[in-house]
Protein backbone atom coordinates (compact mmCIF):
# COMPACT_ATOMS: atom_id res chain seq x y z
CA UNK A 1 0.00 0.00 0.00
CA UNK A 2 1.06 3.56 -0.67
CA UNK A 3 2.67 5.34 2.27
CA UNK A 4 3.82 8.85 3.03
CA UNK A 5 6.84 9.09 5.32
CA UNK A 6 7.57 12.10 7.49
CA UNK A 7 10.24 12.61 10.15
CA UNK A 8 8.66 12.22 13.59
CA UNK A 9 10.14 15.44 14.87
CA UNK A 10 11.93 18.59 13.80
CA UNK A 11 13.40 21.18 16.14
CA UNK A 12 14.37 24.73 15.26
CA UNK A 13 15.16 27.96 17.05
CA UNK A 14 12.94 31.01 16.61
CA UNK A 15 13.73 32.94 13.46
CA UNK A 16 15.35 29.98 11.75
CA UNK A 17 13.98 27.95 8.84
CA UNK A 18 12.25 24.65 9.39
CA UNK A 19 11.94 22.08 6.64
CA UNK A 20 9.61 19.12 6.94
CA UNK A 21 9.77 16.44 4.29
CA UNK A 22 7.21 13.96 3.08
CA UNK A 23 8.29 11.05 0.92
CA UNK A 24 6.16 8.73 -1.11
CA UNK A 25 7.32 5.24 -1.95
CA UNK A 26 6.25 5.40 -5.57
CA UNK A 27 6.43 7.99 -8.27
CA UNK A 28 3.15 9.80 -8.08
CA UNK A 29 1.47 12.52 -10.06
CA UNK A 30 -1.01 13.33 -7.36
CA UNK A 31 -0.86 16.59 -5.53
CA UNK A 32 0.29 16.86 -1.95
CA UNK A 33 -1.17 19.03 0.76
CA UNK A 34 -0.06 20.13 4.23
CA UNK A 35 -1.98 20.67 7.45
CA UNK A 36 -1.04 22.21 10.79
CA UNK A 37 -2.60 20.87 13.95
CA UNK A 38 -2.17 22.42 17.36
CA UNK A 39 -3.04 20.50 20.54
CA UNK A 40 -6.76 20.10 21.04
CA UNK A 41 -7.60 21.72 17.71
CA UNK A 42 -8.71 20.55 14.31
CA UNK A 43 -6.17 20.55 11.48
CA UNK A 44 -5.80 23.65 9.34
CA UNK A 45 -4.97 23.56 5.63
CA UNK A 46 -1.58 25.24 5.12
CA UNK A 47 -0.55 24.32 1.59
CA UNK A 48 -2.48 22.65 -1.21
CA UNK A 49 -1.44 21.32 -4.59
CA UNK A 50 2.19 21.11 -3.48
CA UNK A 51 2.82 24.84 -3.22
CA UNK A 52 -0.38 26.88 -3.15
CA UNK A 53 -1.23 28.82 -0.02
CA UNK A 54 -4.87 29.38 1.04
CA UNK A 55 -5.87 32.91 1.87
CA UNK A 56 -4.99 33.85 5.42
CA UNK A 57 -1.97 31.58 5.66
CA UNK A 58 1.22 33.57 6.35
CA UNK A 59 3.79 33.82 3.57
CA UNK A 60 6.42 32.19 5.77
CA UNK A 61 4.75 28.86 4.96
CA UNK A 62 5.70 27.47 1.56
CA UNK A 63 5.69 24.14 -0.21
CA UNK A 64 7.83 22.55 -2.86
CA UNK A 65 8.23 19.18 -4.54
CA UNK A 66 11.03 17.21 -6.12
CA UNK A 67 10.63 13.71 -7.41
CA UNK A 68 8.84 11.64 -4.79
CA UNK A 69 9.50 14.11 -1.96
CA UNK A 70 7.56 17.20 -1.01
CA UNK A 71 8.79 19.74 1.51
CA UNK A 72 7.04 22.19 3.78
CA UNK A 73 9.27 25.13 4.57
CA UNK A 74 8.59 27.52 7.41
CA UNK A 75 10.77 30.61 7.17
CA UNK A 76 11.41 32.73 10.23
CA UNK A 77 9.81 30.22 12.59
CA UNK A 78 7.78 31.70 15.41
CA UNK A 79 6.85 30.17 18.74
CA UNK A 80 3.24 29.92 17.58
CA UNK A 81 4.33 27.57 14.78
CA UNK A 82 4.97 24.79 17.29
CA UNK A 83 2.50 22.12 16.21
CA UNK A 84 2.08 18.83 14.40
CA UNK A 85 2.30 18.95 10.62
CA UNK A 86 0.77 16.38 8.28
CA UNK A 87 1.25 15.85 4.59
CA UNK A 88 -1.60 14.31 2.63
CA UNK A 89 -2.31 13.06 -0.84
CA UNK A 90 -5.25 11.58 -2.68
CA UNK A 91 -5.80 9.61 -5.83
CA UNK A 92 -7.59 11.46 -8.59
CA UNK A 93 -10.36 8.89 -8.72
CA UNK A 94 -11.60 9.62 -5.23
CA UNK A 95 -11.04 6.18 -3.82
CA UNK A 96 -8.12 6.81 -1.53
CA UNK A 97 -6.79 9.53 0.71
CA UNK A 98 -3.62 9.08 2.69
CA UNK A 99 -1.90 11.06 5.41
CA UNK A 100 1.71 11.02 6.45
CA UNK A 101 2.41 10.02 10.02
CA UNK A 102 2.91 13.61 11.12
CA UNK A 103 5.88 15.68 12.26
CA UNK A 104 6.05 17.45 15.58
CA UNK A 105 7.73 20.81 15.19
CA UNK A 106 9.39 22.05 18.34
CA UNK A 107 10.47 25.66 18.59
CA UNK A 108 13.40 25.74 20.95
Partner 1 sequence: QVQLVQSGAEVKKPGASMKVSCKASGYIFTGYYIHWVRQAPGQGLEWMGWINPNSGNTNFAQGFQGRVTMTRDTSITTAYMELSSLRSDDTAVYYCARDASNWNYAGVFDYWGQGSLLTVSS
Of 38, 54, 64, 108, the residue at the interface with partner 1 (CB under 8 A) is 54
Q: How far apart are CA 1 and CA 34, in angstroms?
A: 21
Cβ neighbors of 23 (< 8 A, separation 6 or more) are 4, 5, 6, 68, 69
Nearer to partner 1, 15 or 42 (CB): 42
Nearer to partner 1, 64 or 96 (CB): 96
48 binds partner 1 (CB under 8 A): yes
Q: HSE (CB half, 13 Å, CA atoms) of 44?
A: 17
Nearer to partner 1, 67 or 93 (CB): 93
User: Interface residues for partner 1 in 78-107 (CB under 8 A)?
Assistant: 86, 88-92, 94-102
Write b or e for each residue in 75-84: b if 16 or more Cβ atoms lie within 10 A of its Cβ, otherwise e: eebeeebbbb
Of 49, 64, 78, 108, the residue at the interface with partner 1 (CB under 8 A) is 49
Q: Count the neighbouring beta carbons within 10 Å of the beta carbon of residue 33.
A: 23
User: Interface residues for partner 1 in 12-41 (CB under 8 A)?
Assistant: 30-31, 33, 35, 37
Chain residues that interact with partner 1, rule: CB under 8 A: 30-31, 33, 35, 37, 42-45, 48-49, 54, 86, 88-92, 94-102
Amino acid sequence: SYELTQPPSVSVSPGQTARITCSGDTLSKQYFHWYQQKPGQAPVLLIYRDKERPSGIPERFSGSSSGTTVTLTISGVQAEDEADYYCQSADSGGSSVIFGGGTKLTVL
